[in-house]
């Protein structure tokens, strides 16, 4: 049984979790929350535990959720009878099974950092403290840094879909390799494959810029709903084409959509969902262009059909699947 002071801290953390998600919550609430977390490192730890349990409760079926709540949750008030979450929060990380890791770190000047990670073949949905909704693709890493005047997010690898709560006084900026994506009241998808970046806008518009463009070089644009922007690091250029919302977020429904993309990019993204990794033995195969849909629950069928599309052969080995150039084998 936790001590009374710890119980009280957990209760306050749960209250903050709820306040930050209320429709009318603004900058003042966020600033008060930051001030509370900076008072004592245990405050931030408690908030992390509450967030972890709340995330887990959202993924359970109704019977499991009710069972967990009945066992661990103690009523506090008629309005919020589920608070303070308490002991259940401490087991949430185990229940998540490694699908996502949420860790808060306190920095100087009231800034907090947060890291999310998903496992192979495991997509994950969660909500950031400002109410922004995020869908994290499989085998992806996202870091978030929030302060009173900034909301900075970095997609380190993989894919994420954002439904941003717009705040002109506190911009929402996503960094993806050499590219920055600035929200202008938006929902958009970001995919990072090495240093290649794909941004697909489903609602509103975003401002996209090359952070490392040479002095005097103008390499930025605004993309609106229905547009997809591709960044090629080799050419340091961005191209725009058309994409539907269904195509942009197909991965959330177990479908990977590719439109005129190099086979190397296709394989890299497929490996985020594959039980056994694919390896491209001959580098020249990486440049082959692929367009099509791959179901993440039927990857083996797609692999078997590849030799009918490309001049390659498929070999299954202990370490995974190897794709080699059939033209080299025939010589």
| Pairing label, strands 237-242, 227-232 | antiparallel
**For residue 298, what are its two tokens?**
């039927």
CA distance 185 to 331: 56
pLDDT at 5: 63
| pLDDT confidence band for 111 (50 / 70 / 90) | low
Q: Can you give the pLDDT at residue 165?
A: 92
Place of tokens 């490309």: 310
> How high is the pLDDT of residue 141?
93
Given a cut of 50, whether residue 26 has pLDDT beyond it is: yes
Q: What is the pLDDT of residue 98?
A: 37
Measured distance CA(48)–CA(201) in Å, rounded? 31
**What is the pLDDT of the chain when averaged over all its residues?**
79
Lowest mean pLDDT among 65-69, 157-161, 189-193, 252-256: 65-69
pLDDT of residue 55: 58
CB 72 within 8 A of CB 85: yes
Q: CA 225, CA 206: separation in Å to the nearest integer? A: 9
DSSP string, 82-108: TTT-HHHHHHHHHHTTTSB--EEEE-G
pLDDT given for residue 306 in this prediction: 94
d(CA 202, CA 224): 8
pLDDT grade, residue 209 (50/70/90)?
Answer: very high
Each residue's pLDDT tens digit, 41-100: 788 777 777 776 665 555 444 444 445 444 444 443 433 333 333 333 333 332 333 334
Can you list the domains of the chain with their CATH numbers?
A: 1-97 (no CATH), 99-252 (2.60.120.1440), 254-330 (3.55.50.30)
pLDDT at 184 over 50: yes
Q: Is the pTM above the cut of 0.85?
A: no
């Amino acid at each position: 049984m936790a001590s009374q002071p710890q119980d009280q801290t957990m209760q306050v953390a749960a209250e903050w979790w709820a306040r930050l998600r209320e429709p009318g919550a603004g900058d003042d609430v966020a600033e008060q929350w930051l001030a509370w977390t900076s008072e004592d490192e245990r405050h931030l730890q408690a908030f992390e535990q509450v967030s972890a349990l709340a995330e887990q409760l959202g993924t359970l079926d109704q019977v499991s959720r009710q069972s967990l709540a009945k066992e661990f949750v103690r009523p506090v008030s008629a309005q919020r009878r589920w608070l303070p979450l308490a002991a259940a929060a401490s087991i949430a990380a185990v229940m998540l099974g490694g699908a996502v890791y949420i860790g808060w770190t306190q920095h100087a000047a009231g800034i907090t950092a947060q890291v999310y990670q998903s496992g192979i073949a495991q997509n994950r949905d969660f909500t950031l403290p400002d109410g922004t909704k995020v869908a994290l693709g499989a085998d992806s890493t996202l870091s978030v840094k929030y302060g009173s005047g900034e909301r900075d997010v970095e997609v380190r690898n993989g894919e994420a879909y954002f439904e941003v709560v717009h705040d002109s006084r506190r911009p929402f900026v996503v960094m993806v390799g050499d590219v920055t994506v600035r929200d202008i009241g938006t929902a958009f998808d970001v995919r990072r494959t090495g240093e290649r970046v794909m941004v697909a806008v489903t609602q509103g518009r975003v401002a996209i810029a090359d952070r490392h463009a040479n002095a005097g070089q103008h390499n930025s644009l605004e993309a609106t709903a229905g547009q997809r922007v591709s960044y090629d690091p080799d050419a340091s250029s961005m191209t725009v084409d058309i994409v539907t919302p269904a195509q942009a977020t197909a991965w959330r429904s177990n479908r990977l959509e590719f439109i005129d993309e190099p086979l190397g990019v296709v394989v890299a993204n497929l490996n985020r969902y594959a039980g056994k990794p694919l390896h491209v033995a001959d580098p020249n195969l990486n440049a082959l262009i692929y367009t099509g849909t791959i179901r993440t629950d039927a990857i083996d069928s797609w692999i078997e059909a590849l030799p009918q599309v490309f001049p390659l052969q498929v070999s299954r080995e202990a370490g995974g699947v190897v794709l080699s150039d059939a033209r080299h084998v025939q010589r």
